[in-house]
């Protein structure tokens, strides 16, 4: 029998291995849902749900896309739309388009340093929040104030480094047990 490397835990077998893999792959989605629920229940002003969920979708799509599959992104968007969006579908479309764009760029992004990834995130966030603003303007049949584009982009871009640091720790811990 082959012994595991020092610092590595020997993987379980059978059902326990299945459960371990399932929970490891479900962890990013579960943490994202907990973040969204925490923000939704505490929110007093413009919804911060999308500015908190977007960094999670962005990060996990780059570094662990199997743990943030398109179906999970879609369902997360639908739940957010039901809970916070006055224009049903806007958040779902934004998250799915973000996922598709980032997934296509994943090969080049995974090789970049944090600063380049953070800059790309800021651009993706700006595009996402602009799309959300446009869809909500169309849904309300009037041009909404564009200040929310900058507000949400700045808040989300400011939160990205903090969330990315936490997600990086989670990602490394998950890698140790693989």
CA-to-CA distance for 11 and 1, rounded, in angstroms?
13
The pLDDT value given to residue 129:
94
CA-to-CA distance for 137 and 143, rounded, in angstroms?
5
The pLDDT value given to residue 131:
94
Low-confidence ranges of the chain (pLDDT < 50): none
Domain boundary assignment for the chain = 15-176
CA-to-CA distance for 160 and 23, rounded, in angstroms?
24
What pTM value is reported for the model?
Answer: 0.86
Location of structure tokens 């590595």:
8
The pLDDT value given to residue 108:
95
For helices 147-176 and 114-140, the axis angle rounded to 10 degrees is 130
């Amino acid at each position: 029998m082959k012994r595991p490397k020092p610092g590595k835990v020997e993987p379980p077998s059978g059902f326990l291995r299945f459960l371990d893999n399932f929970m490891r792959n479900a962890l990013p989605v579960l943490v994202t849902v907990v973040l969204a629920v925490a923000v939704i229940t505490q929110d007093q002003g413009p919804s911060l749900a999308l500015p908190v969920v977007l960094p999670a979708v962005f990060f996990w799509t780059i570094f662990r896309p199997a743990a943030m599959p398109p179906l999970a992104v879609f369902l997360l968007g639908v739940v957010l739309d039901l809970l916070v969006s006055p224009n049903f579908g806007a958040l779902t479309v934004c998250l799915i388009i973000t996922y598709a764009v980032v997934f296509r760029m994943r090969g080049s992004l995974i090789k970049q340093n944090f600063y380049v990834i953070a800059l790309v995130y800021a651009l993706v966030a700006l595009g996402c929040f602009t799309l959300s603003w446009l869809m909500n303007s169309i849904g309300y049949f009037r041009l909404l104030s564009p200040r929310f584009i900058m507000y949400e982009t700045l808040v989300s871009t400011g939160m990205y480094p903090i969330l990315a640091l936490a997600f990086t720790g989670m990602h490394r811990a998950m890698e140790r047990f693989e």
